Structure 1
Amino acid sequence: MGERLGFAPLSLAERVLYVSDDIQSAGKEKSEPARYGPGLSGKLLLLTIVFVMVAEVLVFVPSVSNFRRQWLMARLEDAQIAALAAEAAPGGQLPRTLRDELLQSVKVKAVAVKRTDSRRLILEEDMPAEIDASYDLRDATWLTLISDALMVFAEPADRVIRVVGKPNFATGEFIEVVMEEAPLKAAMIRYGLDILGLSILISIITAALVYLTLDMLLVKPMTKLTWNMVRFSERPEDPTRIVTPSGRRDEIGTAERELAAMQAELAGMLNQKNRLAALGLAVSKISHDLRNMLSSAQLLSDRLRSVKDERVQQLVPKLLASLDRAIRLCARTLDFGQAQETPPKRKQFELAPLVTEVGEGLALPRPDLIEWNLDVPPDLKVDADRDQLFRVLSNLCRNAVQALESEADGMGEIVITARREGSVTLIDVRDTGPGVSERARAHLFEAFQSVARKGGTGLGLAIAAELVNAHGGQIMLASNEGGATFRVIIPDVVVDLQRARRRSA
C-alpha cells in the first residue's frame, strides 16, 4: 500500500522502531486508569458494616422471641404465686380490695388454674375483658414463638391476650392468665432499642477491626500492586520500576513474585526490541554503504583479468564470485528491510568444490595452527541453493575457527565429512575445540541468545538454522565430546514434495 500512495517502503529498523513506539504509547494511554465510584477500601468498610448488621438482625429476631417468652413466663409465675395466696384465704374468698391489689401486682386481669380434672377461676376483675388472642406456651415451636413475637410490633397496643403455661406445675396441670399486651409491647420495644444500640456498637467495632485487618493484609498490598502496574506501564523498559516482592508466603506474595517476573521479562523484551531496532538501522546503513564499496571493488577486480599471471587468473573468478555473493546479500538486506530469507533456488551440484571454496574463503588450512581435512566424495551431489548452503557451511566453519582460536595455543583441526543416505545428504562439521558450553546449548539456534564467546553476536547459528529449515532440513549439535560436531541434513526436493503431500492429506 505504501508504494501505491507514493511513500518509500519501511525498512526493518523502522518497522521495529514503530512497534516499540506503539508498545510505549499503549502503556502511556493506560497510565491514568478511570475511577468509578468509591475505592476498594470504602467498599470494604461499607460491606463489612452491612454484613455485621445483617448478622445482628438474624440474631435479633430469635432474641426478641426468647425475651417475649421469658417475660410471659415471669407473668405466669407471678400469677401462680397470687393464685396460691388466694387459695390459702379462709373459704377460698379474698376481699375485693385484696383481690384487686393482687391482680394489679401481677399485671393481669384474670387467673385460672387447672388441677386434675377440674379448672378453677381463682382471680378475676369485676368486668371480664374481651380476649383478642390466645397463646399456649406449653408446646409452642420456635417458629411459632418468632412469628408471635414479630406480630406484637404489628398489632395495636390495646389488645387483651390469654396466655397458657405451666411454670412450676405437675403433669396435667397448668395456669392461664388474661392480661393486656401493652406492657409486653413496651418492654419488647425497650429491649429492641437496647439490642439495636448494642448491635450498632458491635457493628462499628467489628467493622473497624475487620476493615483495619483486611486493609493491612489485602487492600494496601493490592493498592501497591495496582500503583506499580500503572507506574510500570508508563515506562516498561525502565528496570527500576519493576515491583519488589515483599517476601510474603501467601497469595499476595505469589502475585508479587509473578508480577515481578512478568515485568522483568517484558522489560527485557522491550530492551531487546530496542536493540533490534538499533541493529536493524545500523545494518541498513552499513549494507547500503557496503554495497557501494563492493560494487567499486568488483569493478576494480575486473581489471585483474588482464593480468597474465597464472596465479592471479586462478583467484580472480573466486574473488568475483565472492563479491557477487556479498553484493546480492546487501541488496536483499536493503530490499524492504526483509526479516526473512528468500526461498532457496534449489538445484543439484557437486558438494566438494563448494566445501573447498568455504575453506579458501576462511584461509584454511593455516600451517602449524589449524588443519583442514575434507572427507567429501568428489561425485557427491546435494540438492540445495548453492549460495545459501555456502553461507551455512561458512558460518559453521567460522565458528569452528573462532573456537580453536580461543584455545591457549590456537591449534586444532576442522574436519568436514559428507555422505548420502537415500535421498538425504548429511554434512558433519567437526572441530577439536572446547565444545559448546551448557549455557550456549540452552538457546543454541536463537538469535542473540546463543553467544558462546566474548564479542560474538549469536547470529551465525541462527542464520544457518533458518537457511537449513527453508530447505526442509535440520541442523543439530550431533556431538560435544572432544570438540563440537554440527550435523546438517538436507533432503532432496522430491522428499520435500512428498512431505508436503502427506501434510496436505
Structure 2
Amino acid sequence: MTRPHEIEGDRRTDRPTLARRLSIRLFAITALAVMGAEIFIFVPSIANFRREWLETKLETVSVATLVSEFGENGVPLTPEQETELLRALDARLIAIRKPDSTRLLARVADLGTVDEQIDLPAEGMFEAVAAAFETLVWGGDRLLRLVGPIGDGSFAGEIVIDERPLRAAMLVYSRTILLLSLAIASFAGALVFGAISLFLLRPIRRMTGAMVRFAADPEDPARVIVPSRRQDELGLAERELADMQAILARTLREQRHLADLGLAVSKINHDLRNILASAQLVSDRLSDLPDAQVQRFAPVLIRSLDRALVYTQSVLAYGQAAESRPVRRRILLARLVDEIFEMQLVAPERRIELVNAVPPALEIDVDPEQFFRALSNLVRNAIQAVEGDDEAEALVRRVRVEAQAQADGGVRIAVDDTGPGLSDGARANLFKAFRGSTRAGGTGLGLAIAAEIVQAHGSRIRLCDTTRTGARFEIDLPGNSGAPAISPP
C-alpha cells in the first residue's frame, strides 16, 4: 500500500500549467469584461464623433457666408478664389439655403453624382450609429451632401464632401479608443490579478501545502496548520481546517493506540485462555468434594469459568468486526436475570438491593449467551453506579430489572438504578467504546458491547430521560426480526 509520504513529492509537483492557473483565467476574464464594456462605450462615441466632425464641416460654411456677403456688394469670387476656398474647406460644393432662396457660393467643375444626403437635424441616434458603422466598415469612396443649420439657425448650409477624410478621421479615433481600452483592460486585469494572488490564491496555496504536509504524517501535531488572524471567509476556512486536522490527528492517534491495544489483548487472551482452562479442571475436581460450602459455590464458579473461556475465544470478534450472528432460543427472562444477579459479587455491607421484577412466565427469543452478556454489562454498570456513592448510610442503593410485553408482540426490558445518573460527557458519547464510560476510570466497553449485541438482535437500546435520579436503559425487542438501531439519549 502506498504511504502518504511516498506521494508527497508528486502532489507538490502536480501544479497546473500557466494557462490553467486561476490567476491567469481571472486576468483574462477581467480584461475581456473591460473590453466588452469599452465596446458598449465605443458604439455611441463613434457615432457622436462622426456627428461632431460633420457639424464642424457645416460651421466652416459660416466663413463662406461672409465671403458671400462681400460678393453681393460687388466683389464676386473669381474662379481661382473659389478653387482656393473649396480646397481650404476640403469640399466640392458650398451653398447657402435661405427660406426663400438657395445661393451657390462655390463648386468644382466635375462635381459628379452625390451618393448620399445627410440631414443632421433629422438624424436619430440609431440612424447615426448605423451610418457611422457603415462609413467605418464599407465607406470611403462615396460623395456626401451635408445639410444643416449654421450660425444662429436662421439659414442653413449645404456642403458636398468626399467620404474618405471622414472615414480616415474615424479610423484614427477608433484606433485611439482601442489602444486606450487595451491599456485600461490590462491595468484592470493586472490589478485584479495582484489582488486575487495576494488575498485569495496565496492563502489557498498555503492551505493546500498544509494539507499535503499533514497527509504525509497526520499524527504529527506540528503539521497542523496555524490559522491566520484574518476575519474573512478564508480565515474561517483556515480555522476550520486547523480544527479538522487536530481532530483527525487525535483520532488517528487513538486508532493507533486501539490497534496496539488489540494486539496486546490478543496476546494476553492467548495465555489467559490456557490459565482458565487449568482453573476449569481444578473447579471440576472441587465439585467432587463433599463439603457443603464447596457444593454451594462450585456450580457458580464452574459457570463463571465456562463463560470466561467463551469470552476469551470471542474477544477478537469485537475488535475485528462484530459479534457473531445470534443463535436464537426461547428462554425465561426471569431465570436469566436471576443467574446474572448470582454472578455479581456484591459485598453484604454495601447494602445493594438487586430486584428482579420480570414476570416469571415471560419468554423472549434471543441468543442466551449473548443476551446474558448484554444484560450483565448493564447490571454491572448499574451496581458500580450505586456503589460509588457511599457518603450517606441512608441512601437507597437499588438495581432493578423489569420487563413488560408490548401490544405489538415485542418485549421492553428496563435496567434502572438509584445512582447519581450520567454526566453530560457520558451522554454525548453513549455506546462508544473508550468514550462513553458512565464512571471515572471506566472504558465504556460495557455499553458498547451491550449495544452491539442488541443491534445484532434487531432491537433498540436507549437511555431514558426520567425525572427520577439514577439512570434507566431500555431495550425494545421486536415481535419479529427488525432493523437494528440505537436511539440517542
TM-score range, shorter chain: 0.7 to 0.9
Which amino acid letter does the alignment assign opposite residue 80 of structure 1? Answer: S
**Corresponding residue SS for 2:349:** coil
> How far apart, CA to CA, are the structure 1 residues paired with 2:457 and 2:348?
35
Which amino acid letter does the alignment assign opposite residue 470 of structure 2? Answer: G
RMSD: 3.4
Asked if 1:122 corresponds to 2:105, the answer is yes
**Which of 372, 382, 395 lines up with 2:353 in the alignment?**
372
Asked if 1:225 corresponds to 2:212, the answer is no
> How far apart, CA to CA, are the structure 1 residues paired with 2:332 and 2:273?
29
> How far apart, CA to CA, are the structure 1 residues paired with 2:88 and 2:280?
130
Asked if 1:435 corresponds to 2:421, the answer is yes
**Which of 486, 497, 504 lines up with 2:473 in the alignment?**
486
Which amino acid letter does the alignment assign opposite residue 287 of structure 1? Answer: N
> How far apart, CA to CA, are the structure 2 residues paired with 1:487 and 1:336?
22
Which amino acid letter does the alignment assign opposite residue 481 of structure 1? Answer: R
Quote how far apart the aligned CAs of 1:438 are. 1.9
Quote how far apart the aligned CAs of 1:133 are. 4.2
> How far apart, CA to CA, are the structure 2 residues paired with 1:297 and 1:25?
50
Quote how far apart the aligned CAs of 1:268 are. 4.6
**Corresponding residue SS for 1:299:** helix
In structure 1, runs of 5+ residues without a counterpart are 1-20, 501-505
TM-score for the superposition, normalised by structure 2:
0.84
Return closer, same or farther for 1:129/1:433 CA change in 2, 3 Å cut-off: same
Quote how far apart the aligned CAs of 1:130 are. 4.8
Counting only pairs closer than 5 Å after superposition, residues 287-302 of structure 1 correspond to structure 2 as: 287-302=269-284
Which amino acid letter does the alignment assign opposite residue 235 of structure 1? Answer: D
User: Does the CA contact (< 8 Å) of 1:332 and 1:338 recur in 2?
Assistant: no
Q: Which residue of 1 aligns with 2:79?
A: 96
> How far apart, CA to CA, are the structure 2 residues paired with 1:274 and 1:30?
27
Quote how far apart the aligned CAs of 1:243 are. 4.0
Return closer, same or farther for 1:270/1:344 CA change in 2, 3 Å cut-off: same
> How far apart, CA to CA, are the structure 2 residues paired with 1:284 and 1:197?
79
User: Does the CA contact (< 8 Å) of 2:5 and 2:217 recur in 1?
Assistant: no
Counting only pairs closer than 5 Å after superposition, residues 151-170 of structure 1 correspond to structure 2 as: 151-155=134-138, 159-168=142-151, 170=153
Which amino acid letter does the alignment assign opposite residue 415 of structure 1? Answer: V
Quote how far apart the aligned CAs of 1:464 are. 1.2
User: Does the CA contact (< 8 Å) of 2:358 and 2:404 recur in 1?
Assistant: no
**Which of 133, 137, 144 lines up with 2:127 in the alignment?**
144
**Corresponding residue SS for 1:496:** coil
Quote how far apart the aligned CAs of 1:110 are. 1.0
Counting only pairs closer than 5 Å after superposition, residues 232-247 of structure 1 correspond to structure 2 as: 232-246=214-228
Asked if 1:309 corresponds to 2:294, the answer is no
Q: Which residue of 1 aligns with 2:330?
A: 348
Tell me which of the two structures has the higher relative contact order, counting C-alpha pairs closer than 8 angstroms and 6 or more residues apart: 1
Asked if 1:392 corresponds to 2:374, the answer is yes
> How far apart, CA to CA, are the structure 1 residues paired with 2:317 and 2:208?
45
**Corresponding residue SS for 1:342:** coil
Q: Which residue of 2 aligns with 1:110?
A: 93
Q: Which residue of 2 aligns with 1:339?
A: 321
Deviations 1:430-449 (A, max 9, x none): 33322111221123223333
> How far apart, CA to CA, are the structure 2 residues paired with 1:30 and 1:462?
42
> How far apart, CA to CA, are the structure 2 residues paired with 1:391 and 1:237?
36
> How far apart, CA to CA, are the structure 2 residues paired with 1:331 and 1:465?
20
> How far apart, CA to CA, are the structure 1 residues paired with 2:8 and 2:276?
45
Deviations 1:247-294 (A, max 9, x none): 555443454455445444544543443344333323322322222221
User: Does the CA contact (< 8 Å) of 1:27 and 1:236 recur in 2?
Assistant: no
In structure 2, runs of 5+ residues without a counterpart are 484-489
Which amino acid letter does the alignment assign opposite residue 347 of structure 1? Answer: R
Deviations 1:67-114 (A, max 9, x none): 221111101111133134313422583233433333233222211222
Return closer, same or farther for 1:30/1:400 CA change in 2, 3 Å cut-off: farther
Asked if 1:413 corresponds to 2:393, the answer is no
Q: Which residue of 2 aligns with 1:5?
A: none
Return closer, same or farther for 1:315/1:410 CA change in 2, 3 Å cut-off: farther
Q: Which residue of 1 aligns with 2:15?
A: 35
Return closer, same or farther for 1:455/1:30 CA change in 2, 3 Å cut-off: farther
TM-score for the superposition, normalised by structure 1:
0.81
Quote how far apart the aligned CAs of 1:301 are. 1.9
User: Does the CA contact (< 8 Å) of 1:369 and 1:410 recur in 2?
Assistant: no
